Amino acid sequence: MSASTENRGVVYKGAGKVAVESIAYPELAIGNRKCDHGVILKVVTTNICGSDQHMVRGRTTAEEGLVLGHEITGIVVECGRDVEFIQQGDLVSVPFNIACGRCRSCKEGKTGICLNVNPARPGAAYGYVDMGGWVGGQAEYVMVPYADFNLLKFPDADQAMEKIRDLTLLSDIFPTGFHGCVTAGVGPGSTVYIAGAGPVGLAAAVSAQLLGAACVIVGDMIEDRLVQARSFGCETIDLTQDGDMADKIEAILGEREVDAFVDCVGFEAHACGCNHGKEAPATVLNSAMSLTRAGGQIGIPGLYVTEDPGAVDDAAKQGALSMRFGLGWAKSHSFHTGQCPVMKYHRPLMQAILFDKVKIADAVNVEVITLDQAPNGYAEFDGGAAKKYVIDPHCSVTA
């Protein structure tokens, strides 16, 4: 048993507001359902994500009181009765998808749509609306179910702590960006357009380079984020400027289409050019069809929702968007949506970090903050800071 019985976490307090509060110390259970297959983690790092911002901006049906946080790395302090291989003291990365390892989806490696962890729909995550009610990990302690299946143990905890700013990104955005590129068909010599220079877009851009892309172009409206993309060799397009996107691609590549397109924006997309202040939820999907070569693939890690109370029109409130789907059909595009199945990628990407093949923390500009600084981190991130905020609840990184 661990010594502590106290816990503090980041709590959603209604649109635009989060607070750090005392929360219950985790149990090996969710409601009446026992989790003898679970462990309790002392959280070492837990990152703030653009996915959290959709909730905090009031753009989902998340209820006040939700404990946030799905990007978790921690030390095992207690193992449930049925945990066989993970041990107390292990330093582990937690995939943000919760997966049972026993259902049809999990057996096919599709851990983002596990059938047994969310009574409402396939797929679950920690601290997320509609994702099964699992308590979030932007906290001092958190419970992780099906621990033997879900957790990635770092081979050497001391060595891992030296690279923790990079390894903390294995719980979500590095695999997510990589998956976006893999599903877009990125390989050696590809030309790639990445929509969005937030942390997921930047992670996708580094991933495209790791996969051997010839040219990676990143588009956004926030200049600081484009500077960040250029810092590791990407071409950029400033979307506040008017003009045809194909012309801008042609100015860089000498041709008007890319081989692969990755949407790292999602449903809160803004219009480009003179309308860049206005929301236009289908704009990235429509650009994807215009700008991707015939037969090309489109990776869509950016999140799209089934309910959006803050949407621009009634259709979008139900997640129905105005897409020119006929164009994508005519060009034989394939579209790849959904949660990233983190487990498919986290081990090889861990090895790439440990063997110095990639500098993901520098690319996304990791900034480590304390738990008490989390509300400020949320506000700065929402303001468009070119940073990935990593909460260090026990000051184990800064110490």
Ligand X SMILES: NC(=O)c1ccc[n+]([C@@H]2O[C@H](COP(=O)([O-])OP(=O)(O)OC[C@H]3O[C@@H](n4cnc5c(N)ncnc54)[C@H](O)[C@@H]3O)[C@@H](O)[C@H]2O)c1
Give the interface with ligand X as residue ranges (CB under 6 A): 49-51, 53-54, 172-173, 176, 195-201, 219-222, 225, 239, 264-266, 269-270, 272, 283-284, 301-303, 339-340
CB of 172 to ligand X, least distance (A): 5
Chain residues 139-198 in contact with Zn ion, contact rule CB under 5 A: 172
Residue 287 vs residues 194, 264, 267, 323, 387: alpha-carbon distances, Å: 11, 13, 14, 10, 26
Q: Which CB sits closer to ligand X, 197 or 210?
A: 197
Binding at 377: pick from Zn ion, ligand X, none (beta carbon under 5-8 Å per type): none
The reply on whether position 49 binds Zn ion by CB under 5 A is yes
Q: Which is nearer to Zn ion, 114 or 265 (CB)?
A: 114
Write the DSSP symbol of residue 246.
H
Residue 221 interacts, among ligand X, Zn ion, none and using kind-specific CB cut-offs from 5 to 8 Å, with ligand X
- The three-class DSSP label of residue 252 is helix
In whole angstroms, how close is the CB of 330 to ligand X at the nearest point? Answer: 22
Calculate the CA dihedral of residues 321, 51, 120, 151 and round it to 10 degrees. 140
Cα–Cα distance between 317 and 73 in angstroms, integer?
34
Query: Considering the rule CB under 5 A, would residue 114 count as an interface residue with Zn ion?
Result: yes
Is 106 an interacting residue with respect to Zn ion (CB under 5 A)? yes
- CA-nearest of 392, 375, 346 to 74 is 392
Residues 233-272 vs Zn ion: string with x where CB under 5 A? ----------------------------------------
Q: Which is nearer to ligand X, 163 or 344 (CB)?
A: 344
Which residue, 54 or 165, is less far from ligand X as judged by CB? 54
Rg of the chain (C-alpha set): 20
**Sequence-separated (6 or more) residues with CB below 8 Å from residue 142:** 26, 40, 41, 43, 69, 72, 74, 94, 126, 135, 136
- Containing H/E element for 259? strand 258-263
Binder of residue 239, out of ligand X, Zn ion, none (CB less than 5 to 8 A by kind): ligand X
Q: Is residue 28 within 8 Å of residue 151, measured between CB atoms? A: no
Choose the contact partner of 100 out of ligand X, Zn ion, none; CB within 5 to 8 A by kind: Zn ion
What's at 387, amino acid-wise?
K
Write down the least CB distance from residue 283 to ligand X, Å: 5
Q: Please report, as ranges, the residues that interact with Zn ion according to CB under 5 A.
A: 49, 51, 71, 99-100, 103, 106, 114, 116, 172
